Amino acid sequence: MTLRIFNVLGREKQDFVPLNEGHVNMYVCGPTVYDNSHIGHAKTYVAFDVITRYLRATGLDVLYVQNITDVGHLLDSGEDRILKKAAQTQAKPMQIVETYAKAYFDAMDKLGVQRPDISPRASGHIPEMFKMIETLLEKENAYVSNGSVYFDVSSDPNYGKLSNRRLQEQEAGTREAVRGEKRNPEDFALWKRAEPEHILRWDSPWGEGFPGWHIECSAMALKYLGATFDIHGGGIDNIFPHNESEIAQSECANDAEFARYWILVGSLTVDGIKMSKSLGNFITIDDALKQFPAPVIRYFMQSVHYSNPVDYSDDAMNGAARGWERLANAVRLARQMGRSAPEGSEGIAFEERLGTLRADFTAAMDDDFNTPQAIASLQEFTRDVNTFLNSGTAIGRITLDAILDTYEATAGKVLGILPSPEADSGSAQREAALIQMLIDLRVQARKAKNWAESDRIRNELAAIGVILEDRADGTVWKVG
């Protein structure tokens, strides 16, 4: 079975064949760091995190580049969004950038998103952009106008091939101020002349200015991944004009195909509508983490295929939380049983079921990273695991470890949704020992049928977040 990917370029599912066998070069459009990251970012970057993890799990060597945009883009008011924020907070632009770049990485770390191999910043690649712009000028794909440089869309017959947009059909609704400088309204800026009040500015062959809206990705992708690379990712909302323009610039400048596979992620809405500050439905990742643990958020994001839009709502999140809980409980039970299990391989016949789960999981992921299907496989598997663990038959350490290894290889390493293991630190061990002492006391009370005392211990532990569950073979605990 080979991996198949829905290539937005061409809109069909294709066998994935890397340019260089065994290696995958991937570029994903990163965030503009001018504010806290929200759950829409979480959806996109969790998706590419899982994609990267899966590619690596299949043995591919992935080089994952994701930019940090820190040069600002124009707002429709004509203001630069980073400058706008800087004015609001009386801070220097680069202070804003630094603050939110850190916040972005913090948020991603908390979500268990593995960091890209390279996180290049636009502001550090101005020379690379110059070079590409100059090439485009030499080849007459671009022209200078009043201190700015524009890409001449009419010079690229392929413009529109990703988004299926043909020029004539678009509204010519560009801002008045800029329209006069362009030959065609559809032309986009490679370099923009800086007005006097513009703080973020660089010297350039065309005067002081700042980079256009799309050139950074083209320049950085070229630098780190080469003219042609395997996968370009991002949010579907950037398909036009951003991704389309990236392709145009790069393919005209490099005389080579740009990205071979385009993977674009569906957007996230909140209660059915797009997040926006003015609507007050803007949910940051930190807000979400106050309500739900990271694995639940990941589970939720992956319960819908990456290419589909997902709607964030209390009902959906609570459903995801309960569903995740079921998987997590089975894993935690297996871990607990492992601590007191006999060393042997009793119950090893269950291994056959481990094999089918791995096969089902792989088949699902090979089919365009079908995480909802993969999770369904895990849920069915978990039903069988629960039946097995609760069957009362002796289960040896080797068998329990095999079950846990299987969870780790699928839900853990690839999906990143396993509950964190109980820490091995000294204080955690002390805590566990104390809890065990209380459990032992309660066992005495239960033997004496002292239900009041038994319930008191359980309730008081519950109040501090330790949940006790009585099983036929003893009492287990978990942090709730």
> According to CB under 7 A, which residues from 432 to 471 bind RNA?
446, 451, 454-455, 458, 467-471
Residue closer to RNA (CB basis): 256 or 467: 467
CB 25 within 8 A of CB 16: no
Q: Is 298 in the site for RNA (CB under 7 A)?
A: no
Within 6-25, which residues bind RNA (CB under 7 A)?
Answer: 11
CA-CA distance, 157 to 155, in Å (whole number)?
6
Q: Is 309 in the site for RNA (CB under 7 A)?
A: yes
Q: Which stretch binds RNA (CB under 7 A): 73-81, 108-116, 285-293, 425-433?
A: 73-81
Sole binder of RNA in the list 18, 31, 211, 416 (CB under 7 A): 31
Q: Is 292 in the site for RNA (CB under 7 A)?
A: no
CA-CA distance, 396 to 458, in Å (whole number)?
29
Within 327-356, which residues bind RNA (CB under 7 A)?
Answer: 329-330, 333
Residue closer to RNA (CB basis): 275 or 288: 275
Residue at token pair 């609704």: 173
Tokens read off for 259? 């990205």
Site string for RNA, 83-122 (x = CB under 7 A): ----------------------------------------
Within 42-71, which residues bind RNA (CB under 7 A)?
Answer: 43-44, 69
Residue closer to RNA (CB basis): 12 or 255: 12
Amino acid making up residue 438:
L
Shortest Å, Cβ 217 to RNA: 9
Sole binder of RNA in the list 58, 99, 170, 281 (CB under 7 A): 170
CA-CA distance, 235 to 213, in Å (whole number)?
16
The full DSSP string for 321-387 is HHHHHHHHHHHHHHHHHHHHS-SS-TTGGGHHHHHHHHHHHHHHHHBT--HHHHHHHHHHHHHHHHH
Residue closer to RNA (CB basis): 15 or 21: 15
Q: Is 2 in the site for RNA (CB under 7 A)?
A: no
Within 184-213, which residues bind RNA (CB under 7 A)?
Answer: 188, 213
CA-CA distance, 301 to 311, in Å (whole number)?
10
Shortest Å, Cβ 446 to RNA: 5
CB 54 within 8 A of CB 153: no
Q: Which stretch binds RNA (CB under 7 A): 16-24, 106-114, 136-144, 261-269?
A: 261-269
Within 120-159, which residues bind RNA (CB under 7 A)?
Answer: none
Residue closer to RNA (CB basis): 138 or 455: 455
Q: Which stretch binds RNA (CB under 7 A): 33-41, 85-93, 190-198, 399-407?
A: 33-41
Number of residues located near RNA, criterion CB under 7 A:
90
CA-CA distance, 173 to 49, in Å (whole number)?
36
Nearest alpha carbon to residue 365 among 417, 437, 415, 399: 415
Residue closer to RNA (CB basis): 44 or 410: 44
Shortest Å, Cβ 122 to RNA: 11
20: left (phi over 0), alpha (psi -120 to 50) or beta: beta
The full DSSP string for 41-102 is HHHHHHHHHHHHHHHHHTT-EEEEEE-BB-S--B-TTS-BHHHHHHHHHT--HHHHHHHHHH
CB 192 within 8 A of CB 212: yes
CB 39 within 8 A of CB 312: yes
Sole binder of RNA in the list 18, 93, 209, 266 (CB under 7 A): 266
Q: Is 408 in the site for RNA (CB under 7 A)?
A: no
Within 215-234, which residues bind RNA (CB under 7 A)?
Answer: 234
CA-CA distance, 289 to 300, in Å (whole number)?
13
